A and B are shown apart, each in its own frame.
Chain A
Amino acid sequence: MRLLINHNKCRRTGQCVYLHPELFKAEADGSPTVLIEHPGEELREAAEEAVDLCPSGAIALVEE
């Protein structure tokens, strides 16, 4: 699976970086970057939670 951020939708609220620092980090301007682009099964629950918690609906988890 692949973890993606849609930067056109992202509002830089920082929720993903706050609640899932294992998956995201913040850049200097506050925008997030994905740390693990292809998370393993052990990170599935965390990745799904991140998709659900984004207030901008900007995170997607795509099965490959």
Chain B
Amino acid sequence: MDAMPTFPPDQLMMPEALSDPYPIYHQLRDRTPLSYIHIPGGLFPGIEEPIRAWALMKYSDVYGVLRDHETFSSARNPLIEKGVFPPLALITDDPPRHTRFRRLVNKAFTLKRIEALEPWITGVAHELLGEVDSREVELVSSYTIPLPVKVIAHLLGIPGEEYPTFKRWSDAFISSLVTTSQEERMMNTQEMVAYFGQMAAARRAHGAEDLITALVEAEIEGESLEDWEILGFCILLLIAGNETTTNLIGNMLNLLVDRPDLWRRLREDRNLVEPVIEETLRYEGPVRMLTRTTNRPVEISGVSIPEGELLGVFFGAANRDPTEFPNPDEFRLDRDLRNHVAFGMGIHYCLGAPLARAEAKITLNTFLDRFPSLTRGAASALRQTASPIVFGFQELPLVLKPVGC
């Protein structure tokens, strides 16, 4: 009997692996930490040599690294130092800067604010589905992209008539939109930075009922946020809160379209909505991986890793680790779903998790109310492979049969 050839780790970030990563995670997990090519040479200007990192795929390694921010830095990042990626508020900060920023932002981005937003989000969900009849619809462009964009625009206090402009800016941060050129992205970002700069100044003069006002007013022990920090936070919302939510919702509906029995059960018992969302996060979470850098030499699962090395922390692989989740490739609602690392863990635990959960819940409830069944369209669903970070669909054609159709 031939042994199955092991997947070459150097191809972990290649399109073939990105479209179907889970079998590869299973092949590699026991051998991690494992060196792999994180950024191929020549992909970015000025980066001729490949940038290597250590892949972590075991649940215990991933959880341990995420909880130890003193050893594993988010601010030290060779990709930022080499200009491949710009630094981002919070995500690429370490304490003490991160601590102050997160506490202030927490004041504005509260569970209460998100709960208050739920009726408005439900209205948007219905509005987006208003045009849907029993023909085939491509859900990514018609629903899963516009919903989070509208929610963020609303949170930030952008008037409805400026939504098309905001959508254009937000597209600059969607990695799977391969049609947008680098120049267009740059121009859109500059335009947006100018807009939010003016907005922060305006809210300082006259407050309104929006997140920017709450950010301007947030204060802890005499400390408050500077305008440039508020701007950084607005950009963070678009980068971290937009495409991720799009992909969570898309992945969830894609899993449900193949499970008609579960759809029927869900329509009868809405207590299953929350476990379905949590199991989707575990089973096909929207963020594959993020990175950390070692602040000192460490040993992880018996492998010595020097100081200053880049680590690829694979959430998606940890969430399918059979040691933590028995029968990991089964989508089941009867497991302990508190432990998945889809939103990370530790000090960088996703600030927007309550908002993402709310948008997924509202989507699922709205779809259950409106559609007795979901079926696949004639066109095939297409996984996006442009981004090595997010896991989701570029196209998801479905046939939604409204009640009474």
Contacts and interface: CB of A to CB of B under 8 A. Distances in A.
Interface of A: 9-15, 18-19, 26, 30, 49, 52-53, 55-57
Contact of B67 (A14, A49, A53, A56): A14
Contact of A55 (B99, B112, B339, B349): B349
A22 B154 CA distance: 36
Nearest to A11: B338
A12 B63 CA distance: 10
A14 B346 contact: yes
Contact of A12 (B339, B347, B353): B339
Interface in B97-154: 99, 102-103, 106-107, 110-112
A30 B324 CA distance: 15
B345 interface: yes
Contact of B346 (A10, A13, A57): A13
Interface size bracket, B side? 20 to 34
B40 interface: no
Contacts of A18: 99, 346-347
Contacts of A15: 347, 349
B contact patch SS: helix
B347 A49 contact: no
Nearest to A9: B338
Interface string B311-348: 00000000000000000000000000011000101110
B347 A14 contact: yes
A contact patch SS: loop
B353 A19 contact: no
Nearest to A55: B353
A52 to B, nearest CB: 6
Contacts of B338: 9-12, 56
B106 A12 contact: no
A52 B111 contact: yes
Nearest to A26: B67
Contacts of B110: 52
Contacts of B343: 13, 55
B275 interface: no
Contact of B349 (A9, A13, A26, A57): A13
Contacts of A26: 67
B87 interface: no
Contacts of B67: 14, 26, 30
B349 A19 contact: no
B102 A55 contact: no
A49 B349 contact: no
Contacts of A9: 338
Given A11-B339, A19-B102, A57 B345 contact: no
B21 interface: no
**Nearest 5 A/B pairs, CB to CB:** A13-B349, A11-B338, A53-B106, A18-B347, A14-B346
B354 interface: yes
A55 B347 CA distance: 12
B326 to A, nearest CB: 19
Contacts of B99: 18-19
A52 B102 CA distance: 13
Contacts of A19: 99, 102-103, 106
A31 B354 CA distance: 20
Nearest to A13: B349
Contacts of B106: 19, 49, 52-53
A14 B350 CA distance: 12
A53 B106 CA distance: 6
